[in-house]
């Protein structure tokens, strides 16, 4: 009989060899089923320990375990005397407000080019964007109004001539006592009326732009002022005149020696702007160049969609450098200066859209990296610091040099 106690390592090996058919006993043969049963019984009684290799335990966890290493707050370098120190200082800084806008013509310096004679444009001598001078011929209009006006003028000339001859005859007759004074007065009155009609007919021709001594069916239109054509509402062979073109006129000429920069100022910033306030104008077309202007109007109505008001800045434009439609940035300065903490720009290390400074610690060679909020760039290669450090705090003069040295060591 086989004992039911625990199987030794040799017994297990022997049974496995019999199961695989590698062991042959000269006496009796043990069936494979009996050997398998003995193995199961032995493991149950002895408490065989096997490694749990179930797929459930070998699978990775359902969610990755992220272990944050944390920001590196200190760096250590050898020979720290190589990195000179500086102090955070205070400075009187005037707060500013930057807004965007565009260049527009000064409407008080715009003049429409009108043809009081309605008709067809037979010649257009200027176009949109051209510079014109006062008195320059800009277009010619063929108009039936000229014919009507000249006809009235000729009739007025004839009527005035007839009344003048009648008046002279009546004066002779009155002097000889042939007619009464009332007839002479009637002749004088007729002459005055005829002369008034002639004067009106001449004025009508002048308004239409027709020379009475050189009549023509074509009206010549001249520029009323020197400037740039900023609007063109008519083309050659098109209709012109106050009836056809409307009050806007066929062309619009603007004097661009002064222009407007119209900006959008948000509702929350309106308290920072006022009439007469100075503004610095910067344009993408002229990097590094600053134009000066003055606020001439602040809109009374806000745009309901973006909650902004239109602020108009009057800007001198020598040389017509500012062109209509140019994108501009206006900077308004506050009335009073404020005390701000400033540091040299070299003391700031910029990494991944963040700004840092390095401050020495009590341990020689160790520097603490401090996250700050940097503000505006100031004169003298200084940078405003809004938060993170206090005035008079010691800082490394060249933060980038310190960081590079620490990385190499």
Q: Which of 248, 264, 265 is nearest to 107 (CA)?
A: 248
Long-range contacts of 265-271 (CB under 8 A, 24+ apart): 265/97, 265/99, 265/298, 265/308, 265/309, 265/310, 265/311, 266/306, 266/307, 266/308, 267/302, 267/307, 267/308, 267/309, 269/97, 269/99, 270/298, 270/309
Q: What is the pLDDT of residue 229?
A: 92
On the question of a common fold for 74-93+338-408 and 144-216, the answer reads no
Closest CA to 165 of 140, 131, 202, 190: 190
CA–CA dist 257, 136 (Å, integer): 19
Domain ranges of the chain: 9-46, 74-93+338-408, 144-216
| 374, 383 Cβ separation under 8 angstroms | yes
The span from the CA of 4 to the CA of 309, in Å, is 99
Burial degree of 186 (CB within 10 A; 0-12, 13-18, 19+): middle
Cα 165 from Cα 293, distance rounded (Å): 67
Topology annotation, domain 144-216: Helix Hairpins (1.10.287)
Structure letter (DSSP) for residue 303: B
Nearest CA among 42, 17, 205 for reference residue 116: 205
In the 8-state DSSP scheme, what is residue 63? Answer: S
Residue 280 forms beta bridges with which residues? Answer: 292, 331
pLDDT of residue 368: 93
Spatial distance between the Cα atoms of 25 and 358, rounded to a whole number of angstroms: 84
| Predicted local distance difference test score (pLDDT) of residue 36 | 47
Tell me what pLDDT residue 182 has.
92
CA distances from 113 to 25, 90, 109, 214, 249 (A): 128, 59, 13, 23, 5
pLDDT of the residue at 305:
92
End-to-end CA distance of the chain: 76
**Six token digits for residue 139:** 């277009």
- Beta bridge partner(s), residue 344: 382
Claim: this prediction has a pTM higher than 0.75: no
Per CATH, which fold does 74-93+338-408 belong to?
Answer: 2.40.420
Per-residue pLDDT of the chain (409 residues; tens, 9 = 90+): 444 444 455 554 554 555 444 444 444 444 444 444 544 444 444 444 444 444 444 444 443 333 333 345 888 888 888 899 999 999 888 878 899 999 999 999 998 888 888 888 888 899 888 999 999 999 888 888 888 888 899 999 999 999 999 999 999 998 988 889 999 999 999 999 999 999 999 998 888 888 888 878 888 888 988 999 988 888 776 776 666 555 566 889 999 999 999 999 999 999 889 999 999 999 988 988 999 999 999 999 999 999 999 999 999 998 889 999 999 999 998 777 788 899 999 999 998 889 999 999 988 889 999 999 998 888 889 999 999 999 999 999 999 999 998 888 7
> Is residue 229 within 8 Å of 133, Cβ to Cβ?
no
- For 68, the token pair is 């944050």
Copy the structure tokens of residue 303. 């745009």
Look up residue 304 and give its two tokens: 């309901």
Could you tell me how many residues make up the chain?
409
CB hemisphere CA count around 360 (13 angstroms): 18
Rounded to whole angstroms, the Cα distance separating 97 from 95 reads 7
Position 162 scores a pLDDT of 94
DSSP letters along 152-181, please? Answer: HHHHHHHHHHHHHHHHHHHHHHHHTTSS-H
**115, 238 Cβ separation under 8 angstroms:** no
Task: Identify the pLDDT of residue 380.
Answer: 87
What torsion, rounded to 10 degrees, do the Cα atoms 198, 201, 206, 207 define? Answer: 140
Nearest to 310 by CA among 255, 273, 257, 258: 273
The strand pairing partners of 312, in sequence order, are 262, 297
Please choose, from the candidates 398, 389, 370, the residue with its C-alpha nearest in 3D space to the C-alpha of residue 89.
389
C-alpha 271/C-alpha 306 separation (Å) is: 17
**pLDDT value of residue 49:** 45
Cβ burial 209-245 (10 Å sphere, 16+ → b, else e): bbeeeeeebbbbbebbeebbbbbbbbeeeebbbeebb
CB 122 within 8 A of CB 137: no
């Amino acid at each position: 009989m086989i004992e039911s106690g625990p199987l030794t390592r040799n017994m297990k090996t022997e049974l496995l060899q019999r199961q695989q058919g590698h062991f042959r006993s000269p006496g009796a043969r043990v069936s494979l089923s009996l050997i398998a049963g003995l193995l199961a019984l032995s493991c149950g009684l002895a408490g065989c320990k096997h490694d749990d290799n179930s797929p459930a335990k070998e699978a990775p966890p359902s969610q990755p375990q992220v272990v944050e290493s944390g920001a590196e707050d200190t760096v250590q370098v050898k020979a720290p005397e190589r990195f000179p120190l500086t102090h955070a200082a205070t400075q009187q800084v005037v707060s500013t407000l930057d807004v965007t806008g565009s260049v527009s013509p000064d409407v008080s310096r715009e003049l429409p080019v009108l043809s009081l004679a309605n008709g067809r444009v037979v010649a257009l001598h200027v176009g949109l964007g051209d510079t014109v001078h006062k008195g320059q011929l800009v277009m010619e209009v063929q108009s039936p109004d000229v014919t009507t006006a000249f006809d009235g003028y000729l009739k007025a000339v004839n009527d005035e001539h007839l009344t003048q001859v009648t008046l002279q005859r009546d004066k002779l007759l009155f002097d000889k006592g042939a007619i009464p004074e009332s007839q002479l007065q009637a002749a004088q009155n007729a002459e005055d009326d005829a002369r008034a009609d002639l004067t009106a007919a001449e004025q009508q021709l002048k308004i239409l732009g027709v020379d009475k001594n050189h009549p023509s069916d074509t009206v010549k239109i001249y520029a009323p002022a020197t400037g740039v054509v900023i609007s063109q509402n008519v083309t050659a062979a098109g209709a012109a005149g106050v009836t056809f073109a409307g009050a806007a006129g066929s062309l619009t000429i603007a004097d661009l020696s002064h222009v407007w920069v119209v900006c959008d100022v948000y509702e929350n910033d309106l308290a920072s702007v006022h009439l007469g306030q100075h503004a610095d104008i910067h344009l993408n077309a002229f990097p590094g160049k600053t134009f000066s202007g003055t606020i001439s109007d602040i809109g009374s109505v806000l745009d309901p969609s973006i909650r902004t008001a239109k602020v108009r800045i009057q800007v001198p434009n020598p040389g017509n450098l500012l062109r209509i439609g140019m994108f501009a940035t206006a900077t308004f300065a506050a009335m009073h200066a404020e005390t701000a903490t400033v540091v040299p720009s070299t003391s700031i290390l910029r990494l991944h859209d963040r700004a840092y400074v390095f401050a020495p610690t009590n341990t020689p060679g160790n520097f603490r990296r401090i996250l700050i909020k940097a503000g505006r760039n100031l004169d003298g290669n200084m940078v405003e610091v809004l938060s993170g450090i206090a005035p008079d705090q010691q800082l490394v003069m060249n933060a980038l040099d310190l960081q590079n040295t620490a990385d190499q060591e």
